[in-house]
Homo-oligomer: A and B are copies of this chain.
Amino acid sequence: MQSHDFFLTLLIILLTARVFAELAGRLKAPTVIGELLAGVILGPSLLGWAEPSEAIKLMAEIGIILLLFEVGLGTDPRQLAQAGPKSLVVALGGFGLPFLLGFSVGYWVFDLSLLTSLFIGGTLTATSIGITARVLTDLKRHHAPEGQIILGAAILDDVMGVVLLALLYEFSMGDGVTLGNAGKVIMFVASFFILAPVAAKLMSVIIKHINTTTEIPGLVPTTIVSLVLLFAWLAHFMGAPELLGGFAAGLALSRRFFLPFGTALHADPSFAEDIEREMKPVIHLFTPIFFVMVGLSLNLREIDWSSPFIWVFSMALMIAAVIGKLAGPMLIREPWPTRWIIGTAMVPRGEVGLIFAELGRESRILNNEIYAGMIIVIALTTVLSPFAMKALYGRFSHRLQTAERV
């Protein structure tokens, strides 16, 4: 690819994302909707102007990882730990029920094969941590108690989803699925989450030390981006999703992160501010590329809209997808508005669902019609729930706890 073609694609993506984000903002909609729409309009669904080249895809990946880094940076680890049990309940409910419902719709209602039905169930388990985190950030609720529950649940969901995906994939390849395999994956992911923030914290102390002695500008953006990339790579290496590496790195650099064994490594608020100030422009540059990419990946033209199957199938799955995610938070002790908000926040399947569906199509487990049905469900859940969240927040804002922003 010639560099000037790449520049043109990149600038069209950045500018269109911005224009539609501004429009969404004026219409009081979450800006991420505008960015997704920009992708749908630029992509094969409508204009076909921007083709996602490899370089753009990789920059989009950096974008989503940096967004998770920003979310981690703003997270209070103590609050996240407090939200832990509730997050676990929400995640388990939002994982188990969509899986069962999705499988049932496929296997019993539409008489599909066992493997196809399992894949449909698996795709419905996903929660788009990217979309959810972005909507919470747009609404300034990512530091709020329910924001922390949602975030924790979305992370756990992502981890469970990846484990399930790995198992289904091995299953489809005809290899034996053993409990030992599954246990190994879970163990690796868990140890990553225990060790990564500690390691990131130690490295940030080194960066801080260099920052006070160096005269060469640009230390923070280069080293912090390197740190985030390193943990994304480590996460992948340990079998966890890459974007969780970004979150772990952000968590370690957050103002309130503390290590149990050392007071010498206490967070330095002014360094944390330096990081936030210098990283924000970089994050804001890369993040929209990701959401435009999600829109670009949807090809609404591929769908045969005249077939009755597609309407009935996707409608049934849509119901399964929404009910499955709303049920989890009903099991925790929170005011009703909070439960609804948490449930709604878990609905978007976004990029994680797309990864599942794409893998199903590539391995020929999902045929074109079923794939199209999945895509409709992923698109609708992704596009509609930010609106629903915004509406719920508008309706119940007076009854929610105030966000504790430090």
Contacts and interface: CB of A to CB of B under 8 A. Distances in A.
Contact of A215 (B6, B15, B25, B217): B25
Given A31-B216, A242-B4, A242-B7, A14 B210 contact: no
A282 B282 contact: yes
The 5 closest A-B pairs by CB, nearest first: A218-B284, A55-B55, A11-B229, A221-B281, A4-B236
A280 interface: yes
Interface in A205-235: 210, 214-223, 225-226, 229-230, 232-233
A329 B109 CA distance: 84
Interface in A337-377: none
A76 B233 CA distance: 44
This protein's copies in its complex:
2
* Number of chain A interface residues as a range: 35 or more
A226 B280 contact: no
Contacts of A10: 226, 229
Nearest to A13: B226
Contacts of A6: 58, 61
Nearest to A227: B11
Interface stretch (A16-24, A116-124, A256-264): A16-24
A288 interface: yes
Contact of A54 (B4, B8, B54, B279): B54
A179 interface: no
Contact of A55 (B54, B223, B232, B237): B54
A194 interface: no
Given A11-B233, A278-B281, 14 more contacts: A3-B61, A3-B242, A8-B233, A10-B229, A15-B222, A15-B223, A18-B226, A55-B55, A55-B58, A55-B59, A218-B281, A222-B285, A282-B282, A282-B285
